[in-house]
Structure 1
Amino acid sequence: RVRGGVLLPWQLDDNNPRGSGNSMPAKKKQGKISKPVKELKTDEEERRLKEDKEARLIAEQEEKESLERAQQEEEERERLELKDRERRGDELTELHYILEENQREVSLWEAADRKKAEWDRYMLCDGSPNPTVEPEINTFIAQWKEDQEVDIQVTLKQCSLALRLIDELEVHLSEETDPGLIQIYQDTLQCLQSLIFAKHLMAAEKILKSARSCADFETGNMQMMARDENFTVCLWANIEKNPRLVGYNFQEAGLSFELPKQLALSDVCLRILHTRYDHLTPLSLLTRVQNKSLATEEEAEAHSDSRSETPKSLNDETVTEEREATESVQQEKDDLQSPKSSEGKKRKGSGSSGKTGRKGSLVKSQKKTEEHLEEDKPDPEPTVVEPVPETLTVDLHQYTPLGGVYYFNLFHLPPQTLTINGWEVTELSQAGLQDFPFSTEQSYPPVGVIVVLPKSVIFMQEPMVARWDPVDHHWRKDGITETSFNSEARSMSFKMDAFCPFTLLQETHINMPFQSWELRPRGQDSVALTITAALTEVRISVQGNQCMLEMDHAPALNHILGKWMSLPALQRTMTHAGVNIFVQEYSDKYVKVNAKDPLIEHTVYEQMALVSSVFAFARSQWNTRCGQEHVVLQ
């Protein structure tokens, strides 16, 4: 049916039977799209475009907002960084002020200590001279030289006074910077050291001249011992000439010896002098520096020779004068170590210095002298003290002498005093005690020695024995055979092929590297440092500018445990007692560690010191795994 001349929708359907007769072909019906469909598609396209535009606008808006936020954050960060830099600048300024104040307080402490020492010296009033006042000390030395008192007990007291003056002088020597005063102090030290040993030889000679009258009833030989806190003197004279009695055990002194039987029929006497201090080791270090200086002078001379002849003549004169000065110093050192006396210019003295720690200030003063000498040289090259390459020479950076020095001398028995009609007749000799020629090359077997380790020193391992070489001024390992250590008796037995000074040594870095360390606060300006080393544990309490050592099960250190002292004094005392936990200049050459930059380390120590009264610090395992420019701790 047709309504108004328009086909109804079902008439367009091929399946409709009513409209099948008048329908158009199928292809034309399928290709024609109605207007509503077109409108529908147009609406969808417009909607999609609108949504895409809205999404793009939203994305652009979000991107714009993100950029604005990033810009604001960057501006805020810059503002905060600027503010933080200003704050850090203020803090650094305050920090520098605090450090300067601390340094000023340290300087005031040191000045106060010096003034107190001067006042104590002034109020001493015991008749002893001031070693820093040249007229006083020269008068003391001259009067002591002229004093003919040779009683052993009086000699020990006089030598103890001289040692106290040496100690006092070395304190000033370590602080002095004037090269003129340094040289004066060194000359005074060497003179006092020579006099000490000259007096000991004179006292020993007097006793040995009366050996027959003092012979022991059981052995027929003479033996005696005298000692104080600084010296132990053991004398023995072969009077009986019994081949079975060519040795003796000085039980109280912890010393014994056994001579070869070939000496049984000889008129010999023996002296063992044990000093609780060591003056030979500083001579060894001093010789190295002088040898390096002499080598530098020779190189400079050769360099000058290659340039011109006229400067050469001038250099020859200069070098000759310097060599003469060096020979003069060398002669003084020879006098210090010789067993002969230097009394009256007819005896050659063997010197000594202060207690075991006397080597430190002498070496420091020598370094100061070298620095002043190098200031006058153009383009000086730094002098580097490296480990001694010789295998037989003891490397004093690797080993430390402990317990002092043992002077082991064999002399001809001096003419004995005779009693005639109530008169004592003594032959006087300007030569003093004469060395008895002894050498294994003369078919003499080695002499046996047993030494009980000093009770005031801790040996953490078997000590090494070394002898003194008077020619090269070094401790040497050769000439010592058949060494044996008895840990229960704490004794060291060995044999020597010559009579010469010897000492016991221990590895300097035996307690390094540390296993752990901890620094804990104990109140205002007070901390406790605990170090667990390789073989021991050490606790050091710090209060202000004073330190105190604390250790468990260390009876050998009773003389220093629980006593407050300054840091330098504590360091010297601990080192001399065998508890060396202090890093030295060349420690990194002997201990495998991850060395840090010294400037960074020093800065870290300063910062730790500022807050150590309230914060605790401890070792971190990560410190060994980072580079030298980083320091890690807990």
Structure 2
Amino acid sequence: MGPKKKPQKGNQQGGPVKMTRKEKALAKKIERERWREVARRMEQERLQKEVEAVAKAKEEARIAKETHDAWVKAEEDRLTAERNSMKEFYDWRKAEIIRIEAEAKEASDWKRYLESSRLPHASNEAALNTFLDVMRETFDQELEPLMETLIDIFMVATGAEEICLTREQKGDAEGVAIYRSYMQRLYDLADWRLDQTTAYLLHRSHEYWRDKQQNIFCAKAQNWKLAFWINHPKNPRFRMLDLPEVDVAMNLPKQFALANVAIRLQHRMADPITKSKNSYMAIGGTFVIDVLGIPPPSKIVKNWTLDQVSSTLSSLIRIGYPIPVIGQATPAPGAVLPIGVVFFLPDYIIHLNANPEVGWWDEEEEIWQTDGVTDILYEADSRKVSIQTTKAKTLAVIHNRVRQFPYLSWNIRPISEQGAVMTLVTPLLTFTIEIGIGWCKLLAPVFSECTSFAAEEVPPKVMLKRFSKCGIHLLPSDDDAEHIKATVKDGELERFTCLDMAFAAPAFTIASSKWNISLDKDHCLVRLLEVPDPVAPPTLEKSKVVKTLNYTIKGSALAELSEKADSYSEVLLTEHHASLLLALKGNVLDESLQKVEKGNAAFTECVKDLAYALRLFSFGP
């Protein structure tokens, strides 16, 4: 027999060889190492690809940035070159405006010299400061001279306000601040003079009552009214205070009958300087009710007149309403009995509502409030206003100052190379304004309330402010957009657009685009239509050659845009240019461009000032 054979691993049928535990562990280890190597290589490849992708992205970004920067620089260089090419035009225009304004000022100064007014003109700051100082050296002891003084002060204040408005037109922020300060000082001066006379009158009121049985004093001058009721009689049945001398009546609650108080009423034809933080504004001046304390009477002892030293000798004790009672809590607002007041709207007020709103001035919040003023009745024929109020404060007929915004449409059509007519359509009215060399005037609607000044040719903002005081407010500001649907355009862009489009006024109808309101703050749209003959101008609605300009801060570009389309779709036809004079070159008649280039500078400046005062792009369609 031969040697014994070792038993073979695996089964007898040739199956896989069974591995020992160590062999299995070794095999698993080798497999893990293999997969780790695969994973490591894959991770290396992934990281390498990421590095390459980042490098590629950086390179692409660098190339894109260099390309963009090169394009931006080329654009800036091109626009700079265009602006430089316009420098001669701008310099000529500036010199023309200075010359024309100097001539206008010389004529105005000569006219004032011939009129030789006793009041200082607000443009003369030295005379204005002297007036402010001298007027604080004394006070009026009678109501009639006081009324003359107050009217004089507010006439000077109106002059300061109109200079402030012209400074705003020119963008002179420093000048605006100076004249707003003058206006505030003049208003404060008027209050001081009124309070000094009031304190003097109250101090002497005991004498008037003792000698003449007089406790009511009234004065009226133009539309200004002032009245005092001093409760010396202490009549428990007294309720109705009728003051026909100043067209005012009051129905007083019984608390006044025995109270040691005086009531001062004043209807001043000056609106507050401070703008209300809500959307209300006053029209027709303010109607002020002051409840004041009466100083103690003088005593005569052995031919000596003895006055008790009191703050009311030089100042006032403002009691207010409801009248406080010692030992009693202030009544709840609902428990305060209202004061009945009847007064009349001034004849220069344009009142568009069937029934006016009346509010009171909240000094703390700086807004016009309407709570506490009820039962408002208005008789249109007599312009009589009747109210019930628990507020013995500054009252006024108020209206919503944004009711004319946003504008529905506007256009400026040339009537000559030095004149144009603007048509402005608002939600309430359609206005027609003539524009001339440095002046504007309203042609329509014709308001009988404003005939005293409607035909005057004055700077745009002065005209708009005068009508605002009458109830036609067309001077929006950025904060008004909070109360309506409007897109406030970038300030620099809107000023540039108004200036640049105004150049076209001698030869083109300039008009609004309905798509302007849908664009963001960095774009403005203007439509232009050539007018070869102002006597027979083409119409925007029928013409097929209306051009649209898209304005950005860079300049203007011609665009293809339909006003009849249902949605906004614009295609720029040209690149942006520094001025429409360049954007239109080759796209309009040479004769039209020549009119634009030679247009009267003061006329186009007035078009610009009116357009920006109205804020046509922020508050237009």
**2:190 aligned residue (184, 193, 196):** 196
Deviations 1:523-555 (A, max 9, x none): 121111122211122111111111111233522
Q: Is the 8 A contact 2:410 2:423 kept in 1?
A: yes
Could you tell me how far apart the structure 2 residues matched to 1:455 and 1:92 are? 51
Tell me the amino acid that sits aligned with residue 161 of structure 1.
D
Deviations 1:299-325 (A, max 9, x none): xxxxxxxxxxxxxxxxxxxxxxxxxxx
**1:573 aligned residue (458, 463, 466):** 466
SS at match of 1:586: helix
Matched, 1:616 2:509: yes
Coordinate RMSD, CA, aligned: 4.4
Aligned residue for 1:152?
143
Tell me the amino acid that sits aligned with residue 550 of structure 1.
L
TM-score by length of 2: 0.58
Q: 1:248 to 1:418 in 2, by over 3 A?
A: farther
Matched, 1:276 2:269: yes
Tell me the amino acid that sits aligned with residue 198 of structure 1.
W
Could you tell me how far apart the structure 2 residues matched to 1:197 and 1:224 are? 18
Q: How does 1:10-49 map to 2 (within 5 A)?
A: none
Matched, 1:452 2:333: no
Q: 1:90 to 1:191 in 2, by over 3 A?
A: closer
Q: Following TM superposition, by how much is the alpha carbon of 1:556 offset from its aligned partner in structure 2, in angstroms? A: 1.7
Could you tell me how far apart the structure 2 residues matched to 1:603 and 1:431 are? 54
Tell me the amino acid that sits aligned with residue 281 of structure 2.
T
TM-score by length of 1: 0.57
Aligned residue for 2:281?
400
Tell me the amino acid that sits aligned with residue 566 of structure 1.
P
Aligned residue for 2:317?
434
Q: Is the 8 A contact 2:122 2:159 kept in 1?
A: yes
Q: Could you say which structure has the higher helix fraction?
A: 1
Structure whose CA Rg is larger = 1
Q: 1:239 to 1:448 in 2, by over 3 A?
A: same
Tell me the amino acid that sits aligned with residue 268 of structure 2.
T
SS at match of 2:410: strand
Could you tell me how far apart the structure 2 residues matched to 1:598 and 1:437 are? 44
Matched, 1:542 2:542: no
Q: Following TM superposition, by how much is the alpha carbon of 1:408 offset from its aligned partner in structure 2, in angstroms? A: 0.9
Aligned residue for 1:510?
403
Deviations 1:382-416 (A, max 9, x none): xxxxxxxxxxxx524x2222222222111234556
SS at match of 2:292: strand
Identity percentage of aligned residues: 20
Q: 1:521 to 1:189 in 2, by over 3 A?
A: closer
Q: 1:116 to 1:274 in 2, by over 3 A?
A: same
Tell me the amino acid that sits aligned with residue 145 of structure 1.
R
Which residues of structure 1 form unaligned runs of 5+? 1-86, 286-393
Q: Is the 8 A contact 2:143 2:218 kept in 1?
A: no
Q: How does 1:416-427 map to 2 (within 5 A)?
A: none
SS at match of 1:459: coil
* 571-580 or 452-461, larger mean C-alpha shift: 452-461
Q: Is the 8 A contact 1:210 1:417 kept in 2?
A: no
Q: Is the 8 A contact 1:466 1:503 kept in 2?
A: yes
SS at match of 1:265: coil
Q: Is the 8 A contact 2:358 2:373 kept in 1?
A: no
**1:238 aligned residue (211, 225, 231):** 231
Q: Following TM superposition, by how much is the alpha carbon of 1:432 offset from its aligned partner in structure 2, in angstroms? A: 4.5
Aligned residue for 1:101?
92
Aligned residue for 1:349?
none
Which residues of structure 2 form unaligned runs of 5+? 1-77, 324-329, 528-539, 541-621
Q: 1:133 to 1:582 in 2, by over 3 A?
A: closer
Tell me the amino acid that sits aligned with residue 631 of structure 1.
L
* 482-491 or 268-277, larger mean C-alpha shift: 482-491
Deviations 1:21-78 (A, max 9, x none): xxxxxxxxxxxxxxxxxxxxxxxxxxxxxxxxxxxxxxxxxxxxxxxxxxxxxxxxxx
Could you tell me how far apart the structure 2 residues matched to 1:542 and 1:278 are? 28
Could you tell me how far apart the structure 1 residues matched to 2:173 and 2:487 are? 38
Could you tell me how far apart the structure 1 residues matched to 2:518 and 2:181 are? 50
Q: Following TM superposition, by how much is the alpha carbon of 1:271 offset from its aligned partner in structure 2, in angstroms? A: 0.8
Q: 1:420 to 1:269 in 2, by over 3 A?
A: same
Could you tell me how far apart the structure 2 residues matched to 1:89 and 1:266 are? 76
Matched, 1:162 2:156: no
Could you tell me how far apart the structure 1 residues matched to 2:520 and 2:122 are? 49
Aligned residue for 2:248?
255
Aligned residue for 1:474?
366
Tell me the amino acid that sits aligned with residue 526 of structure 1.
G
Q: 1:171 to 1:115 in 2, by over 3 A?
A: farther
